[in-house]
Amino acid sequence: MPAYEITIEKDACDGIFACLTRDPRFVEAADGLATVDPDADPVYDCEGDVTDTAERVVATFDDDRIDEAKQAAAACPTDAIIVEEVGE
> Range with the lowest mean pLDDT among 12-21, 34-43, 73-82?
34-43
Residue 87 confidence (pLDDT) above 80: no
> Mean pLDDT across the stretch 53-78?
96
Q: How many CB atoms neighbour CB 34 within 10 A?
A: 24
Backbone φ, ψ for residue 17 (5° rounding): 65, 30
Q: Domain boundaries in the chain?
A: 3-87
Mean of all residue pLDDT scores within the chain: 93
| CATH number listed for the domain at residues 3-87 | 3.30.70.20
**Alpha-carbon distance 84 to 4, whole Å?**
5
CA–CA distances in Å: residue 20 to residues 1, 2, 27, 70, 76 = 24, 23, 6, 12, 10
With 80 as the cut, is the pLDDT of residue 62 above it? yes
User: Is pLDDT larger for residue 43 or for residue 75?
Assistant: 75
Query: Residue 27: in which H helix or E strand, if any?
Result: strand 26-28
Averaged pLDDT, 24-35: 96
Instruction: Give residue 88's pLDDT band: very low, low, confident or very high (50, 70, 90).
Output: low
